[in-house]
Amino acid sequence: MIRPLLLAAASLLLTAQAPIPPATISDPGSVIATAPDADWREIETENLIVFETARGRLVFELAPDFAPAHIAAVRSLVAQGRFDGGAITRVQDNYVIQWAARPSEAAAVPEPLPAEYERAAEGLIFTPLGFTDPYAEAGFINSWPAARDLKTKTVWLAHCYGMVGVGRDGPPDVGDGTELYAVIGHAPRHLDRNLAVIGRIVEGLDAHSSLPRGTDPLGVYATTAERTPITRAMLAANLPEPPRFQVMDTASASFVRYKAARANRTGFFVRPAAGLDLCNTQIPVRRMAPGRQSLR
């Protein structure tokens, strides 16, 4: 029974897992600080969107390998200026923060988008988490928290802290990109494969997740005055000095050490967990200093 399963896994998609180095650093912060530049991936500015509010900037990275139609719709809305004058409309404790574009003045009905809740695994490199996950086989794809199903040969992005999805009404509605949400609480993994996940926040979520909670059901703000206006939204590539970030390569040796350090923390810990869940891995992201050149 083991051999067919391994063959099925091999035919599903490439699986990458760097060997654990002989000397494993036990402190996650030390692993991040000592990781060589080659073990980081620069986030392309073409895949960064910057929202500006009274709380500052909210910068999120798009995941082009997932939900391409929804991502194209969001890019178009940003280019049209539809989020300028929009607002944060919902903050639900231990769940999500949600924001919306301003209503359209056009009467045209947009073309319906596909239900991009998962995608074919073919062509993607999957790095296993290495620990049991209650929802699916958990792991990472190109520095994104993900999961896969060997039977259906599909993969999807997971609803971890900071991940961004597209809000929608009940099925068959799939959302049109005018309402986005970011996870700010315990990972609601039950939402996986039920909404289109299009990226993650890389900067500014701390200032926005601390906004007052909405008092209406589901954390919706009862009045317009309670909302936080969006001043403008921009594609980072169009800014004269775009913010630049790097994310740790989840197929690198540094990430292997990082996972081991998070699963077996010492020092303060009397009883290390010897385990790790997908969303508690917290893939490292760092801002690049101005003028710094990436090796990748």
Query: Which pTM value belongs to this model?
Result: 0.90
Domain that holds residue 32: 2-103+114-287
| pLDDT of the residue at 266 | 82
Give the CATH number for residue 89: 2.40.100.10
At residue 17, the pLDDT reads 53
Q: Domain for residue 292, yes or no?
A: no
Radius of gyration of the chain (CA): 20
94 occurs within a structural domain = yes
Residue 196 lies in a domain: yes
How confident is the model at residue 126, as a pLDDT?
98
CA distances in angstroms from 193 to 150, 176, 188, listed in the order given? 15, 17, 11
* Structural domains of the chain, count: 1
**Residue 214 within any structural domain of the chain:** yes
- pLDDT at residue 16, as a whole number: 57
Q: Residue 130 falls within a domain, yes or no?
A: yes
Residues of the chain with pLDDT under 70: 1-26, 107-109, 291-296
- Closest by CA to 284, choosing from 22, 23, 39, 20, is 39
Q: Give me the pLDDT at residue 12, please.
A: 44
pLDDT score for 11: 40
Please check whether residue 10 lies inside any domain of the structure: yes
First-to-last CA distance in the chain?
A: 41
The pLDDT, as a whole number, for residue 227 is 98
Dist. CA 20–CA 33, nearest whole Å: 18
- The pLDDT of residue 292: 59
For position 267, what pLDDT does the model report? 83
Residue 295 lies in a domain: no
271, part of any domain: yes
Report pLDDT for 291: 61
